């Protein structure tokens, strides 16, 4: 085998590995509601958890997140982060979140029900 071809085979193999690693990483992001609980302190002020239940409907100016579908929350945060969805404060916040943060926060909010206790990490 000549040297030139050999080099390309190695490069192709490296690209294949890198692609594999990237896919594995994306699949590894599993939301953890418990971890999410500690990450929503900065959301509570606006999204009103846990006060939203008692304050409803007067204080309501932002969407309710508790009990919302996990995928829906993840998609919304990713859309803000990417700039597909526009709302300045939400974009600034979403930009600061990692994929893991988004997954954890979505898991946390999705697990909320009307009988959930107030967030102790508030
Ligand atoms: C400064 C106030 C503020 C803070 C802080 C804030 N949000 Fe928001 N959020 C809003 C407003 C207002 C909207 C509605 C914006 C729009 O119409 O797109 C919104 C929208 C959302 C949506 C989309 C909901 C839907 O029904 O479409 C999600 C998800 C969300 N916020 C998550 C979060 C999370 C998670 C945090 C904390 C990491 C957070 N927000 C912090 C004000 C805030």
> DSSP string covering 65-81, please?
-TT--HHHHHHHHHHHH
Return the minimum-mean-pLDDT range out of 57-66, 68-77, 84-93, 108-117. 57-66
For residue 73, give the ligand 1 atom closest to its CA.
29
| E strands, the chain, in order | none
Which residue has its alpha carbon closest to ligand 1 atom 43? 46
CA-CA distance, 68 to 110, in Å (whole number)? 5
pLDDT at position 77? 97
Q: Which helix (H) or strand (E) holds 85?
A: none
Between the CA of 102 and the centroid of ligand 1 the distance, in Å, is 12
**Mutation pick for ligand 1 pocket among 33, 63, 97 (CB with most ligand atoms within 8 Å):** 63
Between the CA of 18 and the centroid of ligand 1 the distance, in Å, is 34
81 in Cβ contact with 38 (< 8 Å): no
38 in Cβ contact with 120 (< 8 Å): no
* pLDDT tens profile 14-71: 455 455 444 444 557 899 999 999 999 888 877 864 544 444 445 545 777 888 999 9
For range 88-114, the mean pLDDT? 94
């Amino acid at each position: 085998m000549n040297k030139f071809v050999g080099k390309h085979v190695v490069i192709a193999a490296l690209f294949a590995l890198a692609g594999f690693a990237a896919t594995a990483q994306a699949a590894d992001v599993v939301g953890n509601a418990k971890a999410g609980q500690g990450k929503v302190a900065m959301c509570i002020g606006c999204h009103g958890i846990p006060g939203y239940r008692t304050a409803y409907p007067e204080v309501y100016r932002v969407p309710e997140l508790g009990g919302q579908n996990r995928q829906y929350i993840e998609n919304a945060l990713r859309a803000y982060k990417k700039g597909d969805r526009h709302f300045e404060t939400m974009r600034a916040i979403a930009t600061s979140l990692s994929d893991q943060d988004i997954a954890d926060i979505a898991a946390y909010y999705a697990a909320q029900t009307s009988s959930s206790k107030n967030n102790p990490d508030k």
